[in-house]
Chains A and B, each alone.
Chain A
């Protein structure tokens, strides 16, 4: 091999080696520059990916949240509630809500698609199969809600004291069924019971059009039927 050929060979080899080396080095340099820019940008502007959070629906006005918090707190619902500390009696609810019965019910009007009305026969406090199904459906549809309100009532038939007891037992039936069915460790922290008897915030027949456990039945829906109920709903507010 003579010098001329060696020079030729080295020249071609140099071109073949330098060109790809320069290109690769350039790509890596660009990548490093972008990497450093990205790091600086990330430090200046943390991720805009949303963080998982409980639901906060449009109806969660400051007023509603304040009332729900007040009612829940005063009725022993917040913080898991202790033995015997769970639930609000009618006069308690009325006083802590500082609302008329009508205004109290109006709070729940935005929940027309979310709430379920569990119906009972007269003087009965146990859930029938349709009521159980409706209740389970309601509970399973928690989504991002924080509180499950159970507002039990009784119709105005009979003794006021007796009706208060009926509504309390209806609320307890709802809670027991949820406990037995779901064994949910969070249940104690999420369920709030209010029993209103016949004394406060009786429902009007406009609620007959809501999701009731006897929606499809031949039973009429009068002031009496709509109040022999437990009104259950998840509240989609971060309380």
Chain B
């Protein structure tokens, strides 16, 4: 155990002999043991932050087995996983902001891993000073400066969550709160610290090296231990190909036309939450600009789809009809942009449309007509119903699985397990393959 004799705290550490140290508060403030209080609080905040970021990282990492798992989403660090699959934490986790280098590694490196490293570093610095029992001013200042990194990242990620992701996860908020608390307590430690050894700048630089080493070591551990993809299965090889990709019945809707882009077909259901989530993920990926995307509608609603015995997504047939009507696929009047408007509206109102359609499907049709007057006279008509059948039969002719979404890049189906965390990794390789094929 260290003792005070180990430290050279002169010249500015000792109370000036001639000073009028009559102020009781000043005496208290300068009492070396008091700094332990904010240091203990910084340590606690860092451990809480590390716990939250570890929870987030563990949730992220378990998905590297390419399966879907329930995850944590609570302010309580010890809370159990959520009962349902959908949660703001999942939305945040699947967003492209949750990890870095996604095109290089399947899933990328989770930002929460860096958070673990930073909080562990803060815990180490605070813990060391706490055990030692004293903190030089320069050490406390460095500790405070170090806490500003997670504070800054928290501010950035909060902004991303609000403006880009549209969901704020509670585990992330735990990290934000821990960061802020650590900074506040570290500031307290600055005020209660005393003494200098004249090596502040050197210590500051060494601290940066140490902090970088923490991040570096954890990143290397992560990269060394992350599961290696089976080169023979899935990935860029895909999971099957289209036997009859031609659109003879005129049922495809260009939802994101991109001249020169790689021909891509998305089989989707406008009221399928997974399709909505996929759309969000793809839209926020820079790779979507390289895809020339068309949609084939495959509503999982038994009112028009004989392949499902119950309506998994009630109202989906009505919305799909509206898309075909608006897109000009039925009468020639309309445009793909109008169909995309219907799709965006359906995604935005998905929950309420699904709920309403369970008891009032005609009501959903009325809402569609009110929102998109151009579909009146077409919606519910024989011709658009015929188009829906053709759309479904396109799936039959290609022997597709009865599920949505399915994405075919240049005729090759992206495996289901690659459509979330592995999207960028897989898509970038499929696009590279498509470009190679063109040559």
Q: Quick check: B214 and A17 within 8 Å, CB to CB?
A: yes
Tell yes or no: B123 within 8 A of A by CB: yes
Question: How many residues of chain B have a CB within 8 Å of chain A?
Answer: 62
Q: Quick one: which of A31, A49, A51, A185 has the most chain B CB within 10 A?
A: A31
Tell yes or no: B100 within 8 A of A by CB: no
Tell me, in angstroms, the Cα distance from A2 to B132 when the chains sit together.
12
CB within 8 Å of A: which B171-211 residues: 210
A-B contact pairs, 5 of them (CB 8 A): A19-B120, A30-B62, A32-B227, A38-B66, A186-B390
Q: Return the contact of B61 from the options A28, A39, A140, A182 (Cβ within 8 A).
A: A28
Mask of A1-28 contacts with B, CB within 8 angstroms, 1/0:
1101100110011011101110111011
Minimum C-beta distance from B238 to chain A (A): 14
Q: Quick check: B227 and A52 within 8 Å, CB to CB?
A: no
Minimum C-beta distance from A195 to chain B (A): 24
Minimum C-beta distance from B271 to chain A (A): 18
Q: Report the stretch among B277-285, B353-361, B396-404 that lies at the interface.
A: B396-404
Minimum C-beta distance from A67 to chain B (A): 22
Tell me, in angstroms, the Cα distance from A27 to B61 when the chains sit together.
6
Q: Quick check: B382 and A24 within 8 Å, CB to CB?
A: no
Minimum C-beta distance from B229 to chain A (A): 8
Q: Return the contact of A52 from the options B2, B6, B123, B396 (Cβ within 8 A).
A: B396
Q: Quick one: which of A15, A140, A144 has the most chain B CB within 10 A?
A: A140
Tell yes or no: A54 within 8 A of B by CB: yes
Tell me, in angstroms, the Cα distance from A85 to B227 when the chains sit together.
62
**A29 CB contacts on chain B under 8 angstroms:** 225
Q: Tell me the A residues contacting B by CB distance below 8 Å.
A: 1-2, 4-5, 8-9, 12-13, 15-17, 19-21, 23-25, 27-32, 34-36, 38-39, 42-43, 47, 49-55, 136-137, 139-144, 181-182, 184-186, 236
A interface, by DSSP: helix, strand, loop or mixed?
A: helix
Tell me, in angstroms, the Cα distance from A181 to B385 when the chains sit together.
13
Q: Quick one: which of B2, B210, B392, B402 has the most chain A CB within 10 A?
A: B2
Q: Return the contact of A35 from the options B3, B227, B304 (Cβ within 8 A).
A: B227
Q: Quick one: which of B306, B398, B399 has the most chain A CB within 10 A?
A: B306
**9 tightest A-B CB contacts, nearest first:** A16-B124, A140-B382, A32-B227, A144-B306, A34-B65, A140-B385, A136-B382, A28-B225, A52-B395
Minimum C-beta distance from A60 to chain B (A): 13
A185-B249 contact in complex given A4-B6, A12-B131, A144-B396, C-beta closer than 8 Å: yes
**A50 CB contacts on chain B under 8 angstroms:** 307, 401-402
Tell me, in angstroms, the Cα distance from A183 to B112 when the chains sit together.
56
Q: Return the contact of B57 from the options A2, A4, A27, A34 (Cβ within 8 A).
A: A27
* A39 closest partner in B (C-beta): B230
A55-B128 contact in complex given A21-B218, A49-B403, C-beta closer than 8 Å: no
**B25 CB contacts on chain A under 8 angstroms:** none
* B399 closest partner in A (C-beta): A51
Tell yes or no: B386 within 8 A of A by CB: yes
Q: Quick check: B64 and A2 within 8 Å, CB to CB?
A: no
Minimum C-beta distance from B175 to chain A (A): 14
Tell me, in angstroms, the Cα distance from A141 to B305 when the chains sit together.
11
Mask of B415-439 contacts with A, CB within 8 angstroms, 1/0:
0000000000000000000000000
Tell me, in angstroms, the Cα distance from A35 to B222 when the chains sit together.
16
A139-B402 contact in complex given A12-B124, A31-B61, C-beta closer than 8 Å: no
Tell me, in angstroms, the Cα distance from A17 to B54 when the chains sit together.
13
Minimum C-beta distance from B332 to chain A (A): 11
CB within 8 Å of A: which B126-159 residues: 127-128, 131-132
A5-B2 contact in complex given A16-B127, A20-B117, A142-B386, C-beta closer than 8 Å: yes
CB within 8 Å of A: which B378-410 residues: 381-383, 385-386, 389-390, 392-393, 395-396, 398-403
Q: Quick one: which of A12, A19, A137 has the most chain B CB within 10 A?
A: A12
A5-B7 contact in complex given A20-B218, A24-B113, A53-B396, C-beta closer than 8 Å: yes
Q: Quick check: B66 and A35 within 8 Å, CB to CB?
A: yes
Minimum C-beta distance from B403 to chain A (A): 6
Tell yes or no: B262 within 8 A of A by CB: no
Tell me, in angstroms, the Cα distance from A148 to B67 when the chains sit together.
43
**B121 CB contacts on chain A under 8 angstroms:** 16
A24-B401 contact in complex given A31-B62, A52-B307, A144-B306, C-beta closer than 8 Å: no
Tell yes or no: B242 within 8 A of A by CB: no
Q: Quick check: B217 and A24 within 8 Å, CB to CB?
A: no
Tell me, in angstroms, the Cα distance from A52 to B306 when the chains sit together.
9
Q: Quick check: B403 and A27 within 8 Å, CB to CB?
A: no
Q: Quick check: A28 and B66 within 8 Å, CB to CB?
A: no
Q: Quick check: A24 and B386 within 8 Å, CB to CB?
A: no
Tell me, in angstroms, the Cα distance from A56 to B208 when the chains sit together.
69
Q: Quick check: A34 and B67 within 8 Å, CB to CB?
A: yes
Tell me, in angstroms, the Cα distance from A50 to B385 when the chains sit together.
23
Tell me, in angstroms, the Cα distance from A20 to B57 when the chains sit together.
11
A54-B62 contact in complex given A5-B7, A16-B214, C-beta closer than 8 Å: no
**A1 CB contacts on chain B under 8 angstroms:** 6-7
Q: Quick check: B6 and A24 within 8 Å, CB to CB?
A: no
